[in-house]
Each structure stands twice: as C-alpha cells, then as structure tokens.
Chain A
Amino acid sequence: MVSHRRKHRLPKIDLMLIRMINHSKGQFIAVLTIITMGVAIFTSLNMASVNMNNTVDAYYKQNNFADLFIQTVAIPYQKVKQLEDINGVDQAMGRITLEVPMITDNQNERVNLRLITTTGDENEINRSTLLEGKLISDSGREALLIEQFAKARGIGTGDEINVQIRGKQYALEVVGIVANPEFIYIMENNQSILPAEKNFGICYVTEEFGQQASGLIGSYNELLIRYDVYADEELLIDDVENALDLYGVKQTIKREDQLSNAIINQELVQLNNMASTIPILFLVVAALILMMMLSRMVKKDRIKIGVLKSIGYRNGQVLFHYVKYSLSAGVIGGAVGAVLGMLLAGAITRLFLEYFHIPMLRVEFYYSYLIIAIILSAAFCILSGLIGARGALKITPADAMRSEAPKSGKRILLEKIPFFWKRLSFSSKMINKNIFRIKKRTLFVMAGISLTYAMMLFSTSMPSIMDQMMNEHFKEFQKMDYNIGFTSPVHYNTVRDMEHLIDANYIEGKLEYPFELTNGNKKKAVNIIGLSRDTRFYTFIDNKGNEINLPRQGVLVTENLAKALDIEKGDLIQVNNYIPNREDIIVQVKGVIRQSLGMNAYMDIDTMGKLLLEKNVINGVYIDSSDPNINEKLIKAANIGPVMSIADMRSAYEQYMTMVNISIGIMVLFSGILGFSIVYNATIVSLSEREMEFSSLRVLGFSKWEIFMMIVRENNILVILGIGFGIPLGFLMSEYSAAAFSTDIYTVDMTPTLTALVYAGIYTVVCVFLAQLATYRKIQKLDFLQALKNRES
C-alpha cells in the first residue's frame, strides 16, 4: 500500500519536537514575540547608534568642525594667526558673533538671531553646507540662514530679514539656506532646555557687515581652533589662554562641551544605553518564561523521557531535545528580530537625522549585528533551556515503568490559623494552597506583574514629571515673564529708564556672565548670575527642601554644579576672572540649591560687580509685565540683546512633548507585551500542570466557569501582591532613571505621581484580564475525561 502521508526525513525525535511546538503554539508564539521584539530592538538601536555616530563624525570632518571655541572680549586680527604657532594648534580662525533681535510683523513675538560672520572659505572652520541658494559674496548685506529656523518661519532665499543691532535696524537679504555642524541641535544657551526653532536662529553674515554692525573694527570676539593629531588638549588650552591673556577670555569651550555636540552625544549615549538595556530585559523575561515552560514540560514528560532513555537515547540527547525547544525559539526569534531590526534601523536613523538636521546620511548594514543578535538570543535560550530542562537528567529509564508517587502534601502557613482557615470555602482553600505551595511559579507571575506595573508606572509618570519640572522651574524657582540681556553692561539706573519705557509691574536688574569655576583639578564654565538679595524673581530651595536667601558674601550653586565640581556647602572655590587685569577670586559655597534646568551659580549682585566686574552695573533685567506691546518697545530700545519670554519657552516645550509622548507610547506598549506574555504563559503552565486536578474537580461537579473563576481569583491575589511590590520597584526605577537622565542641562526629580500609580494599576489589571481571556478558551477546550483516563498524556 502506498503511504499517503509525506515521509519525514527528520530524525523522529526532532519531529516530535516540531509537533510539540505546534501543539503549544500559543505559548511558543508568546515567547517568540518577546524574543523577536528584544532582538529587533537590539539590532535596530545598535545599528542606528553606529550609523548616527558615523554620520555625525563624517559630518564634523567634512565641515571642519572646531575642537575648541573661545569667547573673548575682543581679539585683533593679527593675533589670531599667531595662535597657529602654539603646539597642537592646526588651524585658528576668528569670527564675530552677535546676539540680536529680529524684527517681525508680529510685534508680540520675540525672535532672536545669532549673527555669525563667515568668510565662505573652502577650509573655514565650522563651514556651512549649502542646502539651497548660494553662498554670500564678499560684500553687501547678504546672509545665510540656518535651515531649521528658515523652515520654522517659512523664510526662503530672496526674502529679507530685519535685525536690530545696537539700536539700529538693518535689512539682510537671505541668499542661501544652510546646515552647520555647530548647530545640529539649536539651543540659544544652556538655560534653554529645548530648541525653539521659531524663536531662535543662526544667521551667517559677511565679516564686513559684522564689524560694521558690532563696532568691533579690526577685531573678533570669538576664536575657533582645530587641533593637529598630536595636540594635548589641556596643555594647548593653557597655552592659548596665556597667549590671549590681554584680550579677555570669557569662556573656553571644548568640543565635548559645545552645546549642540554635547546634546547629540547625550542622545547617542542614551540611545546606546537603551540599545543595551531594553533588549536584555526582553531576553531575560523570555528566558524566564522558557525556563518555567521547560521545567513544567519535563515534569509532565517523565514517562516519555524514561521511555526515550530505555530505548537507548542518551542523557545528552534527551536534554538537548528540550533545549532545542528553547533554542528554536531563540534562533527563529533571533533571525526574525534581526531582519526586522535591520529594516527598522534605517528608519530609526532617518528619524534621528530628521530631528537633528544633518544634511547627510551614513546608513550601512552591519551584518555582524545580525550574527551577534542571533548568538545573543540563542545563548539566552540555550541557557534557559539547560536550566529549565535539567530535571530531565534525573529521570531514569526505569521511570518509564513506575507511576509517579504522590507529591508530599504539606500544610500551608494559613492552615495553622484555624480561625481564618475554617471560614474559607473549599475553592478558596484550593486557591490559597496553590498560591502558597507552588512558590516558584507564584514568584514568577508576581515578578512579572511587578515588572509590568513598575514599567507602566515609570512610563506614565514621565509626562507629569516633565510638566512638574517645568512648573517648578518657571513658576516656583523663577517667576519673571521676560529675561532680557543687554549687549553691553550698563549702570543700574537703566532699570529706572526701562520703567518709563515699558509698562511693567516690576523690573529687576541682573548680572549674568560666564566664568570658569575650579575646585582642585575640577573645572566647569557656568553663568554666574548676580541678583538683588531681595529678589522677587527667584526662590532658592536648598537640597534639604528649606528655603534659603541669597547670601551677601559667597555663592549658591546648583546641585548638578556641586556634583560636577565635587563641592558642598562651606567649601571654597575659585572663580577665574577672564577680564583683563582683574584677579581670580576665591568664594565660599553658602548653599546647594535645586534647579531643574541649567547649571548656575548665584551671587549678590553688588558683591559680584565689586569682585568680578565693576560696581553698580547690570547687563540684563528681569521683567514682570503683562504689557502686550513689550516686545515692540524693547526692540526699539538700544543695547537690547537676547530676550527670553517664559511663555515661548513653554510652548517650545509642548512641541517637544509630542516626541516624548511617542517614546512613552512605545514603552507602554513594551511593558504591556511583556506583562501580557508573562501572565499568559504562567497561567497556561499552571493550567496544564493542574489538568488532573481540574479534571477531578469537573468530575466532582465543578463547572468550567467555576474552575476558571478559581484561576481568576488566584491571579487576583497575585495581582494585588504584584502591584504591592511593583510600587517600590517603580520608584526605584524612577530614581535610577533620574540619575541617568540628569545632565548639565537638566536635573530631573522623577517621583511617580498619584495619577501614574492609578493608571499603571488599571493597565496592569487589563493586561492580566486579557491573559485570562486566553486562559478561559483553554479551559473550555480541556477534555477532563481524557486527562483522567491517561495516566500521563
């Protein structure tokens, strides 16, 4: 007779495996999904990370990005070339940088431009890449506008922009739209948490115009330096600063501290961290599930294993039979995930570039990640397979003939409280016994629920934390409506003049200058802000939560600055004065204060002027005003530099929130999938382990629904316990992330909010509920007679 069934060439033991997998598809797919996602995230993020790094590096190289930025008061032309004689300096270039307001049709809008002079030279440092139009010619009032700003404001080539410089209005013709490595990420200063593309832009102008408008005839106010390959950065900086001693070095910024570059590096580091932590989390969860599934399977297959051994299969062959189950999940998940990840990598890299505005793209496929990913997931799965299936080794061939001795029944702790125990119904007793007896599975499900809850808590807390951070900074910490800088210092009486000029409720003068602070060999350049001691615009809270006042002598420093310099209250630090012929000073730290955004030191304005600058000067004001025409009036005033409106900053922040929300959405999705898989698998395993028990209950007359409800009630207890542990876990996660997220630019206090606690709870419960629906289907299909008839199935 001709066989109708296709002959399987596969070893029969493997055929058994394949049919076994096919039989438990649901669970297998659940594990596979986690592995696939983990691996896809691993490959895509790692490849995106490498691509991003390469792209940024290539861009920097192509556009001759500076290694060192030096802001000075003024440095004559001739002096610049001499710097190239310093050891390690390959190229030095000067330029003029001016912060100016742009005049727009909307008089309520405050727009600031940074004018930067350019020579358009082939080997200019920080050369721009022309995206549209042409480069500027040597003379005239032609300008190049940075892409992000031009796009945000809808300015194109041929358009005219008007700027106000030192009280005079100039019209500039935009001839080209450019991208520049210095402004991949445009932020006005390190006080701005987010780019405000509509309100701050970069505009490149000719040197001739720059000089004329700034009044810096024959001089520059900024230097760019490129190192040669032998440069020793610290030595070089010392040499350069010495050479420039007479010209007032305000601030020396290394490439690593340059705002745009620093932010990009932070993003890349975060991307890297994510690329290594999230996939591992997924693989660990998958490994745990596999372990649980296999250990259960081995227990159930005791006779089958005995028979295999009695037929002559070796221990290793039997163990490997089970390891192959997890290995196939690892390899299939690894391969699918890696391919998926490769496909996603390009998209993710493009997304990042979109966000960063880099006019080039280096996307390459790193096939090594494909292999690493598969090996990584296979390794996890083999390990979990070995641990999960190791019980197969202990089973002897003679077990094939023996029937299983009943498990030693033990009383659980609750039973020792007769008052309580006697009051429970039979099924409640079963539930409690199950939970407390099968500790390993209980722990696993609980851990899964805790993890789901903690991740959800963390994800859902993010938006409100960001919100709270903004409120804390803009409502509690500083309360001004406008923060205005002057282009040069003026006598403090200017405040009174301004009171006449604009309709303000209150105006307060300030001093804000960058200084380098040092403690031993630790250095940090920050803005020191001088304020009246009775300032109405700032409320300082020390790190213990107490309100403190600005001291007459000494400084207050922000937490992140204290950390960067390794200082605490009472320590002495040195303030390096860049102003020619002024001494460096030593000041005492009078307190460490909380500040969400930025890194600063604060001093009494009189003391600051006296010690570091001149007496009775200010270089900016804070305004509390609801005057709608304030912008218009300010623009007309001479000597007005950058104006920051707190409202603008908040709206920029809201834009940014959409991006944050997307990543939160992804995290929520991840936590959901993980939580669901854990609960689903644990319930299914628990179900098959107790098939006999349920079958007996069915015979006793329990309905399917009653049995299902028993599982539900069992899970409910686990959910409550799981959430109980999830809360502190979530807080720990937040605390850890706060430390990881806090940078020079922002300090985050990530305490989960009450709403987040509730949302995370609801979500976790929904997750468990969905997993239980799947369980219900399984119970419907449970053939209790069959289960009782077969000694083992």
Chain B
Amino acid sequence: MVILRTENLTKSYQMGEIEVKALQETSFEIEEGKFIVILGPSGSGKSTLLNIIGGMDQPTSGKVFLRDEEITAYSEKELTEYRRNKIGFIFQFYNIMANLTAEENVELATEISQNPLPVDEILEAVGLGERKDHFPSQLSGGEQQRVSIARAVAKNPEILLCDEPTGALDFETGIAILSLLRKLNRDMGKTVIIITHNSDIAYMADRIIKMRSGCIIEDIINENPIDVEDIVW
C-alpha cells in the first residue's frame, strides 16, 4: 500500500545572490513499512526533498500526498499537526535539547502528540533504559542519536525521516544506529526514509533512490537487502 506519493515536486530558492534549483519535477511513490535510502551527493536536492516530505518546507510547485491527504495543500497549522503526529525526524547533529535529560527530551515530543508510545519502553528499545536520566553532555554521540531516535519514534509517527543519521558518528556507532533503525522498521512496521551520501548504507535498504542535481537518476528495488552487520565502509 502506498503511504507517500510525490507529483512533480520542484523547489527553487535564493541562496544569497544565486537562485538554486534544488528539486526538479520529482515524482515517486513509497510503500508502507519499507526501508528506503535516498542517496546522493551534497547539493543533489535530497535534503530539500526530505524537508518537503516532512512538512517543514513548501515546494515551489508539485504535490505531496500522505495516503490520500495532500499535505502540500495544508495550511501552516495543518502542517504543524502533520509534523506533530505523522512524522518523526532524526537529524545528523541529533539536535536534542541540552538542558533536558534523555527521558525529558523524549517527553518533549510525546507531550504534544496524539497517541504516543510509552516513553520507558522506547528508551529501553533504543538501549537507553539505564541512561535516561543523563543530560546530553553526559552522553556519547551515539547515545545522543539514540535519544533523537527515541524522540522521533515515541510520537508513534507514520514515517521516520532521517537526515544523515550516521553522518556525525564513527563506524561502529553508525552501524549500531542503522541496526536500531532497521529493527524499529521490522518490529514496529514504521516506514523509514534515510537520506545519505554514504552509498554503502544503501545495501541494507528495500529500495534505493539515487539523486543528482535535483533529479532522481535511479530508482532501484533491492530484493535482497543485506544485514546491517554486513555493511562496511
């Protein structure tokens, strides 16, 4: 079943004095419960795509549908509701609140969502059960990213959007994070979309969308995704 669909997405914006065409006529569909990697070098438009899908940015033209709802037609308020209940974000630099503990960071998100998952269970699931009362400054990068994942998952969203989730982590930690994301995808049935420039990660995905200069250049269905543990970069 298609959970997400885009139609001719185009985005251009002013960066200083230059007009940047970040996205050009991009269309694709994503099945529910899949693990998807959007692959591309920096400037390929993948972050822009993620922002638009995540309801954080509006396209210059084109449409995005979540199931049958056109989110590109949403008002500012509806977009906020969409981010609040349907989408979980995971950032490259974790972006967790420095003056809240791991648990409180997760609660920051669950407090405003409609049907959150139990915070304790999620923290257990991401492996932070014992570290939940620590502040970010007391946690390692991997642990911080786990907090960020717990925060995104605990809202019980339809889609997890991850922006270079391993970009700031060392290899082992990165693998652990990817395996966590895969586990959440398999156990909880969450659709996961990862954007990255790291092509090695792509082998673990159900589907790989390659982008360059704002366009999709390749869309591959991976029949035999490899185990996360077998990834090497």
Contacts of A13 in B (CB 8 A): 108, 111
Q: Are A12 and B89 in contact (CB under 8 A)?
A: no
For the complex, is B163 an interface residue (Cβ under 8 Å from A)? yes
Contacting B91 at CB < 8 Å: which of A1, A12, A401? A401
Q: Are A1 and B100 in contact (CB under 8 A)?
A: no
Contacts of B81 in A (CB 8 A): 312
Contacting A8 at CB < 8 Å: which of B104, B113, B155? B104
CB within 8 Å of B: which A1-28 residues: 1, 3-5, 8, 11-13, 15-16, 19-20, 23
A1 to B100, CA, bound (A): 20
A11 to B101, CA, bound (A): 13
For the complex, is B189 an interface residue (Cβ under 8 Å from A)? no
Q: Are B104 and A12 in contact (CB under 8 A)?
A: yes
Q: Are B56 and A398 in contact (CB under 8 A)?
A: yes
Q: Are B129 and A19 in contact (CB under 8 A)?
A: no
Contacts of A400 in B (CB 8 A): 56, 89, 91, 95
For the complex, is B97 an interface residue (Cβ under 8 Å from A)? yes
Q: Are A3 and B85 in contact (CB under 8 A)?
A: no
Residue of A nearest to B79 (CB): A397
Q: Are B99 and A310 in contact (CB under 8 A)?
A: no
Known A311-B151, A401-B163; judge A15-B104 contact (CB<8 A).
yes
For residue A328, give the distance in angstroms from its CB to the closest CB of chain B. 16
Residue of A nearest to B96 (CB): A307
Q: Are B51 and A311 in contact (CB under 8 A)?
A: no
Q: Are A3 and B132 in contact (CB under 8 A)?
A: yes
Residue of A nearest to B101 (CB): A5
Centre residue among B54, B77, B104 by max chain A CB count within 10 A: B104
* Residue interface mask B114-157, A partner, CB < 8 A = 1: 00000000000000011011000000000000000001000100
For the complex, is A753 an interface residue (Cβ under 8 Å from B)? no
Known A307-B91, A311-B84, A398-B51; judge A793-B98 contact (CB<8 A).
yes
Contacts of B57 in A (CB 8 A): 396-398
For residue A749, give the distance in angstroms from its CB to the closest CB of chain B. 57
Q: Are A311 and B89 in contact (CB under 8 A)?
A: yes
- Secondary structure type dominating chain A contacts: helix
A405 to B93, CA, bound (A): 17
For the complex, is A319 an interface residue (Cβ under 8 Å from B)? no
Q: Are A312 and B111 in contact (CB under 8 A)?
A: no
Contacts of B97 in A (CB 8 A): 12, 16, 304, 307
For the complex, is B109 an interface residue (Cβ under 8 Å from A)? yes
* Residue interface mask A307-326, B partner, CB < 8 A = 1: 10111111101000000000
A15 to B163, CA, bound (A): 28
Contacting B83 at CB < 8 Å: which of A19, A20, A309, A405? A309
Known A8-B104, A13-B108, A310-B56; judge A401-B80 contact (CB<8 A).
no
A447 to B28, CA, bound (A): 58
For the complex, is A791 an interface residue (Cβ under 8 Å from B)? yes
Residue of A nearest to B82 (CB): A312
Known A20-B99, A312-B83, A791-B93; judge A1-B130 contact (CB<8 A).
yes
A315 to B113, CA, bound (A): 16
For residue B9, give the distance in angstroms from its CB to the closest CB of chain A. 15
Contacts of B6 in A (CB 8 A): none
Q: Are B99 and A23 in contact (CB under 8 A)?
A: yes
For the complex, is A767 an interface residue (Cβ under 8 Å from B)? no
For the complex, is A692 an interface residue (Cβ under 8 Å from B)? no
Contacts of A16 in B (CB 8 A): 97, 99-100, 108
For the complex, is B47 an interface residue (Cβ under 8 Å from A)? yes
Centre residue among A15, A303, A307, A405 by max chain B CB count within 10 A: A307
A400 to B163, CA, bound (A): 11
For the complex, is B19 an interface residue (Cβ under 8 Å from A)? no
A401 to B22, CA, bound (A): 15
For residue A151, give the distance in angstroms from its CB to the closest CB of chain B. 62
For the complex, is B107 an interface residue (Cβ under 8 Å from A)? yes
Residue of A nearest to B151 (CB): A311
Q: Are A314 and B99 in contact (CB under 8 A)?
A: no
Contacts of A309 in B (CB 8 A): 56, 80, 83
Known A19-B99, A311-B151; judge A12-B84 contact (CB<8 A).
no
Contacts of B15 in A (CB 8 A): 405
A139 to B106, CA, bound (A): 94
For the complex, is B188 an interface residue (Cβ under 8 Å from A)? no
Q: Are B83 and A311 in contact (CB under 8 A)?
A: yes
Q: Are B111 and A3 in contact (CB under 8 A)?
A: no
Q: Are B91 and A311 in contact (CB under 8 A)?
A: no
Residue of A nearest to B52 (CB): A398
For the complex, is B20 an interface residue (Cβ under 8 Å from A)? no
Contacting B108 at CB < 8 Å: which of A12, A306, A315, A791? A12
Other contacts beyond A19-B99, A311-B89: 14, CB < 8 A: A1-B129, A4-B133, A11-B111, A16-B108, A20-B99, A307-B97, A312-B85, A312-B113, A313-B84, A314-B77, A397-B83, A401-B47, A401-B91, A401-B92
Q: Nearest 3 CB-CB pairs, A to B? A: A312-B84, A397-B56, A12-B108
16 contacts between A and B (CB under 8 A): A8-B104, A11-B111, A12-B97, A12-B108, A23-B99, A307-B89, A309-B80, A309-B83, A311-B108, A397-B57, A400-B89, A400-B91, A400-B95, A401-B47, A401-B92, A405-B15
